[in-house]
Structure 1
């Protein structure tokens, strides 16, 4: 069933067209993503569809019985009620039905048996059926489930909403919208401020959502999981594609290729016709045929030249000089607000040159705090950081607090590099999509995405060999994220970054560090590998729990031989761990010696020797990675036995 249709919608700003001739259809089971560059008009179009704004042209036709819910990006609940009271408000109709049922029950019980109470019973039966259909007997459990999904435990239920943080209010606004279950749910950037665990929960919840979904999001992983059709808003027009986000990219590329083939074929035909007309129009014997070809040209509906993608940013992160092999080490550290309020401990980090390490963990665990402690903006409660030789640090702050609101874009960069010619500064800004008079804009007037590009431009100009990045993809549209990813993949330095963008982590990270209240834990792979290992750990934990239960039940029956066998297995694993650690120490000394040998004058002047040393170094690093993985697997096995 069609719930809503947008017909020939346009938004104009004077003579300037933001978009026009927009066609969009929402059916009862739609799962739609609206994608496009920042500034293309996605949020404006959502407001028009939601009825908050009127189109300059066109109409919105909505099914009269269909309910609609719209949640703008970064919208938080503004209420003095408690969390629980506010969530109950999503079931106001159900609770009114419940109250009416209680009233009817009393009326029926007090009615004279001789009197006709049929009408009361009939109303009660109908109300009871409708109450059950609307989950009247389970709505409180539903509230608890959704609040748990958004990381609110029961201790939050009695807290007034106006005492919560902005991020918590934003999550509550989304939670209440989901509980209300509108027939058409319109979400503008719902994944902002959600950690990875909450994102995964939201994906699963929306996959089972009974109504239609229309979503704007820059989270490609999220879109691939949730949507099955994509509307692209680009160059003032709209195009529709069937499939998730990855399928949309494939179809878009195929469509562009097909358009080029059709355009080139028509251009070839036009050239042939024009050539024939030019050669034969003046000859009496062929004039009529030439005139016929000319009429054919005049009637031809000419195809526009395919435009492809819109202009993209293009930049690189280069380093002035390489660092040593050991970039950063942290041992037994603790972060938090005070010794009484520790967020995470113990934290151990060992960052080597060319590592690309993603730091993940729930919101509030201290990921940004850890980054700021590493660069000495916030002191560690315990422990300290050691940096290796020739390490130069570049830091990206997700809040862009290092930008000066009183400066223009041009002077934000130029004041830090006063000896660089203005034309070079302008060229760099041009690669970040700031050109002409744009560079004279004051920072305070920029959007979040524009500020992010300025901050990245500053970072690129510093040529540091160790980049510490706090949510670098926030505020960037999908195209800008992909440009940033490619630049970081080509980066010759070392990366340590926080991100909740799982697609970004998968493309960039070679290692993942998980931060929890119990400290840090290293996983030697990308995000998908991290998920696999977490699943394995959960399965091992479940198995051990089952074994523990069995052990308690049959503790009196365990034989002396079985106990000895288990102790023997533990000792074997302990020896294996110790052996691997010795081998790791040896291979690390080998790597350091090879790196030192490669910088010696006799090696630098001998190409053959330098090549041999480099091959030996690569082989040693491969052996080191294999040993680290063996150490991690053996340690996990040992932990399982010891527990």
Structure 2
């Protein structure tokens, strides 16, 4: 049994910004199947890179195991997959075939050019490479990208069956729930380790946050009571000091009280007042230690415009084909106001093609028909949004959006205000995805069509979207592989 020991880890890319890690300490057992979670930009991938020695840092990271990382970089994707993998690591053919069989993938995939494989196929062969040699400790960064539900389950089953440990980063709650036995959360001010899966983490995190909020409220009330009591005693003491000076009488002026007794009582009261102030300062200091790691997850807004039409879309016996090869059997469905239809199916089954057909963007052959309600307004989240360019203000004007509403939702989705000055094409992939999503949320629409909206979003964003959809109940057509999200928002599902 070996350990990964992190001591006093301090790191940030920009010394002018707040630190990503500040004197962080952690011990990881290499037998653990550890889920690494946290908001985007919090440093999950960076922590893996630090363990790999890719950045300079302060502190120490001690380990007796050698690390291997997913996804590995393929330099020449036109080569056969087997040759690409051989350039990354030495292995026996039978070892790779064994791992691919465990992933329920035909080893014949090794003899195809790497760039001819689907995203899911590329993911599987690179994952298999991690485990052909058990001398290495796998660091797995977002393995569920490009995987459909079936492939995600295959990968989950594969990782669950492994006796060796690993660290995995994923925003798919159901996937993490299945494969991990420990969770490391990168929170606002610290690293917090939880024993259990994602459900255990959520329960314990909620309890801790609720306890801190309750303690915060108690301390606020206590500080308020102490402030009032200290003020009253100080005021009484000052009043008694005036009494020592005496009050005017009909025959003149002079002291009519026992000034010695008054002075002693005033002194005692003032002393009690100072003691209360001291207690109040202690409570205020105690209060400072609370609420640092409660996430600021604000409610999103969606510009849903309920239609006066009951039925928004009707699809009858639709079948799509490429080169005379049907993508799926004929299907029929309809969407009425307030319904949210989810389309599910394996990669390549035609989910996105249905959306393209509905929006007059399908380039293959179609039979059947689709009928929209008259003048139906639609808001669309695309899988590919590289044509989003310019400043956010220019972008809002070009799409006839409220600039304020666009920025408001972007900030709530976790995009820092300093990023607002950047051109969209210069933003990270996660930030650009949030721009596409914020655009859709701000677009007034009777029907929202979202094609894989959760790519590059963190778990907190998933929950934000679920909350606004459950609250507003918009009409939607959604393609997505994240089962938990669909379970929480869809009213109807069809399978291709």
Superposition TM-score, scaled by structure 2 size: 0.82
Q: 1:476 to 1:92 in 2, by over 3 A?
A: closer
Q: How does 1:345-424 map to 2 (within 5 A)?
A: 345-353=328-336, 354-390=338-374, 391-401=376-386, 403-405=387-389, 407-417=390-400
Q: Give the equivalent residue in structure 2 for 1:500.
A: 481
Which structure 2 residues correspond to residues 196-345 of structure 1 after superposition, within 5 A?
196-280=149-233, 282=237, 283-293=266-276, 301-304=285-288, 305-307=290-292, 308-312=294-298, 314-319=300-305, 321-325=307-311, 327-336=313-322, 338-339=323-324, 342-345=325-328
Match of 1:50 in 2: 52
Residue 499 of structure 1: CA displacement?
Answer: 1.1
Residues in 1 aligned to 2:433 and 2:231: alpha-carbon distance in whole angstroms: 55
Which whole-Å CA distance do the structure 1 matches of 2:270 and 2:440 have between them?
Answer: 67
Q: How far 1:429 moved relative to its partner?
A: 5.3
Q: Which residue of 2 aligns with 1:10?
A: 10
Aligned to 1:107: none
Per-residue CA shift, 1:529-572, capped at 9, x if unaligned? Answer: xxxxxxxxxxxxxxxxxxxxxxxxxxxxxxxxxxxxxxxxxxxx
**Pairing 1:499-578 to 2, within 5 Å after superposition:** 499-515=480-496
Q: Alpha-carbon deviation of 1:369?
A: 2.3
1:487 aligns with 468
1:458 positional shift: 2.2
Residues 37-82 of structure 1: CA distance to partner in whole angstroms, max 9, x if unpaired? 1111111111112222232x2210112xx2322224x855746763
Give the superposed CA RMSD. Answer: 3.1
Counterpart residue number, 1:30:
32
* Distance change >3 Å, CA 306–CA 422, structure 1 → 2: closer
Contact map agreement 1:332 1:348 (CA 8 A) in 2: yes
Partner of 1:15: helix, strand, or coil? coil
Q: Is the 8 A contact 1:414 1:422 kept in 2?
A: yes
Partner residue in 1 for 2:133: 180
1:263 deviation in Å? 3.1
Distance 1:161 1:499 in 2: 25
User: Is the alpha carbon distance of 1:431 and 1:219 closer, same or farther for their aligned partners in structure 2, counting shifts above 3 Å?
Assistant: closer
- Please tell me whether the aligned partners of residues 183 and 212 of structure 1 are also in contact (alpha carbons under 8 angstroms): no
1:221 Cα deviation from its structure 2 partner = 0.5
> Is the 8 Å Cα contact of residues 90 and 179 (structure 1) preserved in structure 2?
no
Runs of at least 5 residues in structure 2 that lack an aligned partner in the other structure: 238-265
Q: Whose RCO is larger (CA < 8 A, sep 6+)?
A: 2
Identify if the C-alpha distance between structure 1 residues 469 and 347 changes in structure 2 by more than 3 Å, giving closer, same or farther. farther
TM-aligned CA distance change 1:330 to 1:314, over 3 Å: same
Is residue 396–residue 403 contact of structure 2 (8 Å, CA) maintained in 1? no
Equivalent position to 1:465, from 446, 463, 466: 446
Separation in 1, partners of 2:295, 2:9: 23
Q: Which moved more, 1:244-253 or 1:82-91?
A: 82-91
Deviations, residues 92-150 of structure 1 (Å, cap 9, x unaligned) = 47x5xxxxxxxxxxxxxxxxxxxxxxxxxxxxxxxxxxxxxxxxxxx72x533532465
Mapped to 2, the partners of 1:261 and 1:507 lie a distance apart of 29
Aligned length: 459
1:180 match: secondary structure = coil
Q: For residues 472 and 162 of structure 1, do their structure 2 counterparts lie closer, same or farther at Cα, with a shift above 3 Å needed?
A: closer
Alignment partners' CA distance in 1, 2:426 and 2:42: 18
Unaligned runs of 5+ in 1: 96-138, 516-643
- 1:67 paired to 2:53: no
Find the residue that maps to 1:467 and give its secondary structure.
Answer: strand
In the superposition, the TM-score normalised over structure 1's length comes to 0.64
Matching of residues 50-199 of structure 1 within 5 Å: 50-55=52-57, 57-63=58-64, 66-72=65-71, 75-76=73-74, 78=76, 82-84=80-82, 92=90, 140=94, 143-148=96-101, 152-161=105-114, 164=117, 168-199=121-152
Query: Which digits, 9 at most, give the CA deviation of each residue in 1:160-214, with x for residues without a partner?
Result: 4355466543432222113233452211111111121111111111112222221
> Aligned-pair distance for 1:232?
1.7
SS in 1 for 2:329: strand
Matches for 1:625-640 after TM superposition, within 5 Å: none
Aligned equivalent of 2:427: 446
Contact kept? 2:82, 2:111, Cα under 8 Å: yes
Distance 1:379 1:328, change over 3 A: farther
496-505 vs 353-362, which deviates more?
353-362
* Structure 2 CA distance for partners of 1:75 and 1:197, relative to 1, 3 Å: farther
> In structure 2, what is the equivalent of residue 545 of structure 1?
none
Q: Secondary structure at the match of 1:32?
A: strand
CA distance in 1, matches of 2:79, 2:428: 33
CA gap 1:276/1:48 in 2 versus in 1, 3 angstroms: same
CA distance in 2, matches of 1:271, 1:245: 39
Residues 389-440 of structure 1 show CA distances to partners (whole Å, capped at 9, x for unaligned) of 2343332211114x432x21222122221xx675566556555566866444
